[in-house]
Amino acid sequence: MYFIVGLGNPGAKYEGTRHNVGFEVVDRLADRAGIRISDKKFKARIGRGTFGGRDCLLMLPQTFMNLSGESVGPAVGFFKEKAEHVVVVHDELDLPVGGIRLKRGGGHGGHNGLKSLVQHLGPQFLRVRVGIGRPPPRWDASSYVLGRFAPDERSAVDPALDEAVEAIEVTITEGIDRAMNRFHRQPDAKATGSGE
């Protein structure tokens, strides 16, 4: 079984923020796969079903970002799965708005959600990184990630979210190496001018 985990913060206050793109991707995947994320278990909203012919558990941790591992770790342990079957979708400051990169393992790069997951799972889980760009000069990073996209940024992000869903499908059906070859996406430069 694969765990598809979107990182974000729970509650209406955080909907549509840069930090919640992981939630948005998993919600889109659920719509596409016909999986209802309606159960509450492991400190998360979860839904189980089939995607790409694979048995999947979709997870939206409700612990707040910094404690995501407290949700995902016990779930993976309960099902006795390995970290290599955990696909985590998260925002990435070091990618331009709308960029996508996939990665196997590694550190947390200062991302508190990833830091918590590494503490509870080890570093070997798979990552789908969705670019949100760096904050403009003199912007506080925490305020930036908890803010919402400008309209021109949103026009770059929305296609990236759909492409991230496709990248997850290829990752779990054909392997992450093939997915990395296909989905290292560079956004349209004209659509991301506001963050420069």
Q: Give 188's DSSP letter.
A: P
**Non-local CB neighbours of 110 within 8 Å, separated by 6+ positions:** none
- Say whether 90 is catalytic: no
Give the pairing type, strands 100-104 and 86-92: unpaired
Find the DSSP H helices in 83-150.
112-121, 141-145
Strand 100-104's sheet: what is its strand order? 39-41, 44-51, 54-61, 2-6, 86-92, 126-131, 100-104
Alpha carbon distance 61, 46 (integer Å):
8
Active-site residue, selected from the candidate residues 19, 85, 90, 111: 19
Q: What residues act catalytically?
A: 19
